[in-house]
Amino acid sequence: MFPPGLPRYRSVHKIPPTSALTRLSGLLRRLARNRAGNTIMLVAAAIAPIMAMVGGGFDMGRSYLSQSRLQQACDAGVLAARKKLGTEVIITGDVPDDVAELGQRFFNINFRTGSYGTEDRTFEMQLNEDYSISGTATVNVPTTIMRAFGFTEVPIEVECEAQLNMSDTDVMMVLDVTGSMSDTNPGDTMSKIDALKATVRNFHAQMTASVSGGTRVRFGFVPYSTNVNVGGLLEDDWVVDEWTYQSRERVIDKSTETTKTYWTNWTYKSGSASTTNVSSYAATYHPPSSGHGEGPASGDGYYTCDTGTPSDAYTSNDVLLSTVTEPFIGPPVGTRTTEHYRRTINGDDYWIQRIDNICYVKKTTYSSYVQEYDKVTEPTILITYKWKYHPIAMDVSDWRTTSNGCMEERDTYDIDDYSNVDLSRALDLDIDRVPTAGTPATQWRPMFPGIIYEREINSSGWGGSFKDAVSTTTATWLNAESGGVSACPPAAKKLSVMTSGEIDSYLATLSPAGNTYHDIGMIWGGRLLSPTGIFASENSDAANGREISRHMIFLTDGQTATLDLSYGTYGVEPLDERRWKDGPGGSGSSFTLTETVENRFAYACEEVKKKNITVWVIAFGTSLNPIMTNCAGEGHYFAAADADELSATFATIAEQLGELRVTR
């Protein structure tokens, strides 16, 4: 109900006079035609959106800049932390205390508190199972103009991750396995060879732990001393079928007519002989001989019975019964005389019998024991022999089954100017040259220490002097094998992907022996690693077309130590004179034998580096000399005094071989 007293509906509508209506209509038409007023209204209406757009662009620009710099700082932090983490953590599991501190420091340097007006900066890192380090960084960017529209800050968060990865890599280990590697460095509890084995195992683990899918890391080994053992890696056509060796042959000296006597036709006649055990004792064991101070023990052990027997108490009586002579048809022609005897024995005869490792003292008791026999004397020729020592050509086509695997080098010459080496003559220093079948100058020659005799050096190695001329004598001159002057190292191994078990099995073969000839290690390390040499088909770029990073790790525990008695990769140096001559009065080489080895090492090293191979040199328990530092170059040589320093050195190399990269 509406309220009483008020009308239910009331409308008041006044219609203006005609003249007023006309004036209003004209005004509206004029306003429609006049756009000046519309522009003011449009500008007023657009001020707010324009302010939002300009303010948003300004604030977002600051946000994008802050995000970019925050990402860079995050990347720098995890990269620094991952580099500090290193590779030894893979083996030890120990994370250095300052890894997180260093990562935080690099982050702070690249994005300081309050940079670009930001607030609430945070940075956290995490070590992952694959030894990568990931990080998360956050910051808030306060707004300016957008604050008027209710947006007070822009939150930013970035993620980063750093990993140490390996590219396709070939690593050739050229390892000194000379006799001194059996020694122990001061402060260590294991020999140098055992420390080396442990370190190489860890190095392999560090390298392979950083291998990602599709990446190939191969390892090869060249143990070296007086020479190297590479026979198992060579093709048949790369080795000669015949070669000349410093050896000897037996020749007749003279023949003398004389006689010889022997006893035969023993026959039992009567009496008795009984044998009983008197006592027994343990035989004395003699272990195998270790040879001449080089190499592992060789030969078989044996037993002897060293306790004497009681004194014999028996009599033996021989009676001549008859004599017969007859013509002897020689040579030489003469007379044979046969004397027939009867022997009677009484008493006790003591003797010793060894069965396995037990010695038995026995007694034979004779009682009127009678036997008869013939004593025969007849003409004979006594021949005396001498040894003729000289170079002898021998058929060595069966070298794969008869040689020890070590090789003599192919042709070379006595170099007096190492700045101008003629590689058409020094074929040994041309590391890429492939042998030509049927051309001995280009081929390798198998080593046979057992047939090598060094005239006229006494068999003990002490006394005498080298003699170029043929020597015919009854004397026995030094034999390279029995004299222990031709150590052949364990077999070298070509590049291959190796498991930890395969690494262990190979390292178990390494044993110290021989002298230190660095040049042959460098030469063969280069041959096995070169992408353009005798193994080019295996060493060229990887199957995926990527380039291979090639590295040689050359480790030694001593300076060059030559021995003129050694039968090595260039034969017996004073007799064969292939690269060095030891002549009196200036008739020899321009350099000593040691200088010759070092000059060839330096030249071979430069040839290796021409193949885009990085050479790392490690002196283990010894000092570095200029030859080695010049070979490696700055930053690539190390001196390790003990096992801990050796491990740290290999870890440093592993880090430098890896590629530290941001993976997220």
pLDDT 10s digits, 258-269: 999 999 999 999
Token pair belonging to 319:
């009676």
Domain limits of the chain?
A: 38-163, 169-236+405-436+487-630+638-662, 246-385
Q: How far is Cα 139 from Cα 115, in angstroms, rounded to an integer?
A: 10
Beta bridge partners of 255: 383
The answer for residues whose C-beta is within 8 angstroms of residue 48's C-beta and 6 or more apart is: none
Which pLDDT value is given to residue 292?
Answer: 34
pLDDT 10s digits, 188-200: 999 999 999 999 9
Pairing of strands 358-395, 242-282: antiparallel
* Superfamily of domain covering 169-236+405-436+487-630+638-662: von Willebrand factor, type A domain (3.40.50.410)
Which pLDDT value is given to residue 17?
Answer: 45
Contact 245, 452 (CB under 8 A): yes
Backbone region of residue 621 per phi and psi (left: phi > 0; alpha: psi in -120 to 50; beta: other values): left
Contact 529, 220 (CB under 8 A): yes
Q: Average model confidence (pLDDT) for the chain? A: 87
**Measured at the alpha carbon of residue 244, what is the angle toward residues 246 and 422, in degrees to the nearest 5?**
105
The answer for residues whose C-beta is within 8 angstroms of residue 516's C-beta and 6 or more apart is: 176, 178, 180, 225, 556, 558, 559, 560, 561, 562
Average pLDDT over residues 404-431: 97
pLDDT band at 121 (very low <50, low <70, confident <90, very high): very high
pLDDT band at 34 (very low <50, low <70, confident <90, very high): low
The pTM assigned to this predicted structure is 0.69
Q: Is 575 helix (H, G, I), strand (E, B) or coil?
A: helix
Alpha-carbon 484 to chain mean position? 24
Q: How far is Cα 292 from Cα 486, in angstroms, rounded to an integer?
A: 11
Distances (CA, A) of 467 to 91, 376, 380, 395, 458: 56, 47, 37, 25, 12
Lowest mean pLDDT segment, chosen from 40-44, 341-345, 417-421, 628-632: 40-44
Look at residues 441, 553, 430 and name the one whose alpha carbon lies nearest to residue 175: 553
Q: Is 239 helix (H, G, I), strand (E, B) or coil?
A: strand
Percent residues over pLDDT 70 in the chain: 86
Pairing of strands 153-165, 302-304: unpaired
Distances (CA, A) of 646 to 87, 198, 510: 14, 10, 18
Which pLDDT value is given to residue 46?
Answer: 45
pLDDT 10s digits, 304-355: 999 999 999 999 999 999 999 999 998 899 999 999 999 999 999 999 999 9
Look at residues 350, 347, 354 and name the one whose alpha carbon lies nearest to residue 362: 350
Average pLDDT over residues 459-473: 92
pLDDT 10s digits, 523-562: 999 999 999 999 999 998 776 667 899 999 999 999 999 9
Look at residues 354, 508, 540 and name the one whose alpha carbon lies nearest to residue 432: 540
Beta bridge partners of 89: none
pLDDT band at 637 (very low <50, low <70, confident <90, very high): very high
Q: Is the pLDDT of residue 600 over 50?
A: yes
Token pair belonging to 483:
């004299």
Torsional sign, CA 445, 450, 456, 458: positive
Torsional sign, CA 326, 331, 333, 339: negative
Look at residues 184, 197, 293, 255 and name the one whose alpha carbon lies nearest to residue 565: 293
Q: How far is Cα 286 from Cα 300, in angstroms, rounded to an integer?
A: 9
Place of tokens 């088909």: 537
Q: Is the pLDDT of residue 522 over 60?
A: yes
Q: Is cis: bond before 288, omega within 30 of 0?
A: no
Average pLDDT over residues 608-633: 96
